[in-house]
Amino acid sequence: MEKLGLTVVDAGISIWAAFRQANELHGTDGFRRDMLRQTAVDAFGSLLPRAYVTDLEPVLERDKPDLVVFELMNPGAGLAALRAGIPAVCHGFGRMDESLVPEAMSDLLLEYVDELGITLPNGQHYGLGSTYLDVFPPSLQDLDFLSDVERIPMRPVPFTEPGELPGWVVEHERPLVYLTFGTAFSNQDVLRTAITGLSGVDAELLVATGPQVDPALLADVPDHVHLLPWVPQADLLAHADLVVHHGGAGTTVAAMTHGLPQLVLPQGADHFRNAGIVAGTGLGAQLVGADFTADAVQETARKLLADDDVRVANARIAAEIAAMPHPDDVVPELVELAG
């Protein structure tokens, strides 16, 4: 952000800090998969919103911004704006339906809203009733959400920190498969399984191992498998033929933007919802739980690279996204909302 010339202010706590605090509330220590759902409910429904309201209220009082844009899963920033009487806009990241936010999480958030003495606009807790910046293709969006919520459609524009791509990426002759599990869910075991399967596909394979996995730990791979800790994903996708990934919202929508078939190997969070959307709309396939094996990855990747129907479906979604308003064209609407 600072490289873009923006002023950065520290606020709130990290997701992992909130998870640790949630574990402490229940007398548990460390990561427990059986407690993950309850941990997420406590973190996103109470601990994170409270931390952001506490830290942002003095910032908003000092700087008096004209508009606050907050992310859907960070309602604390929106609550701080409502408390300060500042217009706010909620920035979404995927399909909006009731399965996105567990009822227990919504209940916790609404308890905090009542505690603050806030009446939500339009009586909605999704996006706190604020105008919603919707970057998801309309044909894939929830119909009830489309009819009930004041929204501004905006084209998703993939962004990564600038960097150089390896020369062979631009000039490759065989299909290029891109494998990533993102920054939070990547680990040696899932990477190894996926690489073992994909290395049997007649394609160049570029693997972004992420910050938690040293590429040297996976170095015993064939010559057509290329291991890097990080790649400028937004640039890479213009050259890829298939994206194999964890199902994070950013990667899912970025692949849609480029019209790329997707093989989703969900690991947690909203990955399973996104994997279901990709598979259910003909944009790709998913391998979940015990179905995620090296053999299944290899077979599914081969099918996706050769499937004309998948290619047509992705071209249609990419065209739909390209027709959405560019962020530059949305700015005047935000200025109007700011008053």
Encode pLDDT of 208-233 as tens digits.
998 888 888 887 899 999 999 999 99
Q: What is the pLDDT of residue 31?
A: 58
pTM for the whole structure:
0.90
Q: What is the pLDDT of residue 268?
A: 79
Q: Rounded to whole angstroms, how far apart are CA atoms 320 and 336? A: 26
Burial of 119 (0-12, 13-18, 19+ CB in 10 A): exposed
Please, are residues 180 and 246 in contact by the beta-carbon 8 Å criterion? Answer: yes
Q: What is the pLDDT of residue 79?
A: 96
Q: What is the pLDDT of residue 250?
A: 93
Same fold for the pair 2-155+325-338 and 167-322: yes
50 has pLDDT over 80: yes
DSSP summary character for residue 164: P
Q: List the domain boundaries for the chain.
A: 2-155+325-338, 167-322
Q: What is the pLDDT of residue 52?
A: 98
Q: Domain 2-155+325-338 carries which CATH code?
A: 3.40.50.2000
- Going by C-alpha positions, the residue among 155, 89, 57, 75 that lies closest to residue 338 is 89
Highest mean pLDDT (candidates 35-39, 140-144, 284-288): 284-288
- CATH class of the 167-322 domain in this structure: alpha beta
245 against 125, higher pLDDT: 245
The alpha carbon dihedral of 222, 224, 225, 229 has a sign of positive
pLDDT > 70 fraction of the chain, expressed in percent and rounded: 96
- Going by C-alpha positions, the residue among 278, 233, 229 that lies closest to residue 252 is 278
pLDDT > 90 fraction of the chain, expressed in percent and rounded: 71
